[in-house]
Amino acid sequence: MRILIVGGGILGTAHADEAIRRGHDVIHLEREPEARGATVRNFGLVWVSGRAPNELEAALRSRELWANLAARVPGVGYRPAGSITLMRTQEEVAVAQEAFARPDADNRGFALLDPDAVRAVNPALRGKFLGGLHCTLDAAVESRQALPAIRSYLESTGRYTFHAGTEAREITTNTSGVHIRDDHGRNFDADLVIVCPGATLGGLARDLAGDLPLRRVRLQMMQTAPLGEKLTTAIADGDSFRYYPGFAGSALDHLRTVQPQEPTAEEHRMQLLCVQRLHGGLTIGDTHEYEEPFDFDVDEAPYRHLSGVVETLLGRDLPPIVKRWAGVYSQCLDPLQLVHRAQAADNVWVVAGPGGRGMTLGPALAEHTADQLGL
């Protein structure tokens, strides 16, 4: 088949790779010169540890697909380094113990570590904590270099064409197939169109599928200069238990009751996630903002809070902050949905709304689409 994909983020690119793997030809349109949305404004984490039970199988499959992709495309920077969520109160320890006692703990690669064991796994952690929940199955990719690397590989197949700076304006169908007109006046013909609009829920996506059952979420993040030593795993703090459904339970309910978040963290709905980039710098975040219109500026208080938490866990000062940014992603309103997948017309589909799970679930979601459409 000839498949046209609209949207050059992780979801669109994963669908392109899946289609090529199954023997199809792909035309890929991206309205920007390079993807600039949530796909490149994230941690690059393939995060198995906190996934809800209904997400876990897809997360594990996606991790496997990332590893397979990395074997073909080393430039994605995949590394199965795992993560450690560090607990600083007894209430947080109780949440980790409850998660470790569940039947699916082995499937998540969980281990409970005391402070000495934490430092044996990740010697850069020399700060204050009571222990760590180690997830050996978490992984990371280099989000800012993964997509160009994947596209370069796909182009080498001779069955993939990428059109940057190209916005799809109109999609129509008839008995001969699907016809697409872009903003340069060019026309494309395809057997199937998959639209992956990211957080752009108006325009073409709304024309095709109406108001999608999604909400948009804004986040703030930052990146440091090189740390000067290796952070062998990604790290998270106990506040992250509050934002991942895999940790829901009586211990988390108790934590929420007796341990309110620090005021800045509560105001900005914050957790700490931190991963080291291949160049040695740390990507640190994040916040959650749900009410639109979103601010166009970034607030300094969350950055100060996150810097303080990381320094407490590392037991040292952070290198200088060299980049700060905000990003927006779209998220399904139904928490049981991994992604919103809707048929807009014959052989035209819209796929959107993985939330903050785009890098984690992207390859598996593309595989699900291909299976559902019989590719």
| Predicted pLDDT at 282 | 98
Q: Are residues 219 and 99 in the same domain?
A: yes
| 240 and 276 share one domain | yes
The reply to whether 178 and 272 lie within a common domain is no
Q: Are residues 275 and 349 in the same domain?
A: no
The residue to which tokens 């829901």 are assigned: 248
Average pLDDT over residues 290-295: 95
Sequence-distant (≥ 6) Cβ neighbours of residue 298 within 8 angstroms: 220, 324, 325, 326
CATH assignment at residue 359: 3.50.50.60
Q: Give the Cα separation of 232 and 274 in Å (integer).
A: 11
Do 181 and 240 fall within a single domain? no
Prediction pTM value: 0.96
Under the phi-then-psi rule, with left for phi > 0, alpha for psi from -120 to 50, and beta for the rest, what region is 315? left
Kindly state the percentage of the chain with pLDDT values over 90. Answer: 98
The stretch 286-292 carries a mean pLDDT of 96
Mean pLDDT, residues 70-93 taken together = 98
- Section 272-276 average pLDDT: 98
Q: What is the CATH number of the domain that holds 234?
A: 3.30.9.10
- Taking the CB of residue 324, how many other CB atoms lie within 10 A of it? 14
- 352 and 227 in a common domain: no
Range of the domain at 194: 1-78+141-213+337-375
Do 228 and 296 lie in one domain? The reply is yes
Calculate mean pLDDT across residues 90-114: 97
Q: What is the pLDDT of residue 248?
A: 96
- 266 pLDDT higher than 90: yes
Residues 6 or more apart in contact with residue 305 via CB below 8 angstroms: 262, 264, 265, 268, 270
- Residues 143-157, mean pLDDT to the nearest whole number: 97
Q: Domain check: are 167 and 182 in the same one?
A: yes
pLDDT over 90 (residue 176): no
Q: Indicate whether 306 and 326 sit together in one domain.
A: yes
Are residues 374 and 242 located together in one domain of the fold? Answer: no
Length of the chain: 375
Mean pLDDT of the chain: 97
Q: Are the CB atoms for 83 and 110 separated by under 8 Å?
A: no
Mean predicted confidence (pLDDT) in 137-142: 98
Q: What average pLDDT does this structure show over 264-272?
A: 97
Strand pairing category for 139-140 and 131-135: unpaired
Per-residue confidence (pLDDT) for residue 190, from 0 to 100? 97
- Nearest by Cα to 10 from 183, 203, 145: 145
Q: Give pLDDT tens digits for 17-43.
A: 999 999 999 999 999 999 999 989 999
Which residue do the tokens 């470790």 mark? Answer: 100
Q: Indicate if 200 and 347 belong to the same structural domain.
A: yes
Where residue 175 falls among pLDDT bands split at 50, 70, 90?
A: confident
- d(C-alpha 360, C-alpha 241), whole Å: 17
Residue 132 φ then ψ, to 5°: -145, 145
Tell me, letter by letter, the H, E, C secondary structure of 121-154: HCCCCCCCCCEEEEECCCEECCHHHHHHHHHHHH
Q: Dump pLDDT digits (tens) for 326-362.
A: 999 999 999 999 999 999 999 999 999 999 999 999 9
Residue 223, pLDDT > 90, answer yes
Beta bridge partners of 153: none
| pLDDT (tens digit per residue) in 224-245 | 999 999 999 999 999 999 999 9
pLDDT digits (tens, 9 = 90+) for 179-192: 999 999 999 999 99
The verdict on 282 and 252 lying in the same domain is yes
Number of domains in the chain: 2
